[in-house]
Amino acid sequence: MAGAQDILFAKRHMKIAGVQKLTTLDYPGHLAATIFLPGCDLRCGYCHNPDLVLNRTPTQSAQSSLSAKDVLAILREQRSFIDAVCITGGEPLLSLDPAFVREIKAMGFKIKIDTNGFHPQELKALVDEKLVDYVAVDIKTLPTLYQGLVGRKPKIADLMQTVRLVTTLPAYEFRTTVIPGYHSVELIESMVNWLRFTTGQRRLRAYYLQQFVPRPGCMLSPDFDKLPHTPHKMLDEYFEKVKEFFCICEVRKYYEEVPGILEA
């Protein structure tokens, strides 16, 4: 049954850029499929998905014209292998159709939403209808520094609303991609303190420090092409400084370092 909150989504047309049929990484503790929705209202130069962000679906892609019906059929085929679905982007809450989410939930899947945090009303509508089991929110930097990093001037009040909302859920995470030359241990500590102050909670559920890995020519801005990957030593130092404030605090390392060749 459609909810009254559908008015919020009424003028949106959901496009689907692709589906990963099986992942062990996108939904902690679950085998999942990942659905990618195009479009984003931020312009993070280090983003690895510029085609998604700019809503440019490659015409050669076999999945360039996926419909909601196509994706639901794929999920039905995968039910023997997966128990969860991650909906990501881009920023999925820009175009996500709640009727589509209801269809996924009706199959018995747990649902995770990845968001930049600037769409609290859309997220709350899904949460109120009990359509979301897990939310991951990207915390890019301190509120006062967002514009310089994401290329837009977002409404920080919306981010604060999202942060407070997700901490009412049993399963959520905050995560930060740590960029060499931009993030410092002092900045990460200040970001965590801002989260604690905003929520009024001394200890939060989960925080992941993610390694930046450059992909020259494949990121949104060439300004990030020459930056090094985040050293493991840096990630481990930041982890030690903030781990006490989370029930789960981990480092996500994507680039293996070779002692004596790359920085330790």
In the predicted model, is pLDDT for residue 113 greater than 50? Answer: yes
Question: How confident is the model over 162-218, as pLDDT tens digits?
Answer: 999 999 999 999 999 999 999 999 999 999 999 999 999 999 999 999 999 999 999
Q: How many Å apart are CA 200 and CA 242, to the nearest integer?
A: 17
Average pLDDT, integer, range 125-154: 96
Nearest-angstrom CA–CA distance, 169 and 28 = 15
- The reply to whether 27 falls in a domain is yes
Residue 233 within a domain: yes
> Percent of the chain, pLDDT > 90?
84
Whole-number pLDDT of residue 52: 87
pLDDT at 66: 87
Quick check: is 109 in a domain? yes
Label residue 233 by pLDDT band (50, 70, 90): very high
What's the number of domains the chain is made of?
Answer: 1
State both tokens at 24.
């062990």
User: Where do we find the tokens 């920085």?
Assistant: 263
- Can you tell me the distance from the alpha carbon of 249 to that of 85, in angstroms, rounded to the nearest whole number? 23
- The answer to whether position 262 is within a domain reads no
pLDDT at position 58 is: 53
CATH number assigned to the domain comprising residue 72: 3.20.20.70
The mean per-residue pLDDT over the stretch 147-151 comes to: 93
| 50 domain-assigned | yes
Boundaries of domain holding 211: 4-252
What type of residue sits at position 193?
N
The mean per-residue pLDDT over the stretch 133-152 comes to 96
Greater confidence (38 vs 264) lies with 38
Structure tokens at 13: 């047309």
Would you say residue 237 lies in a domain? yes
Report pLDDT for 239.
Answer: 98
In a domain, 260, yes or no: no
pTM listed for this prediction: 0.90
Q: What is the mean pLDDT of residues 220-248?
A: 96
pLDDT number for residue 32: 98
Pairing label, strands 110-115, 134-138: parallel
* 192 contacts 242 by C-beta, under 8 angstroms: yes
Q: For 32-84, how does the pLDDT look when each residue is reduced to its tens digit (9 = 90+)?
A: 999 999 999 999 999 988 888 888 755 444 445 689 999 999 999 999 999 99
Residue 244 included in any domain: yes
Residue 189: what residue type? E
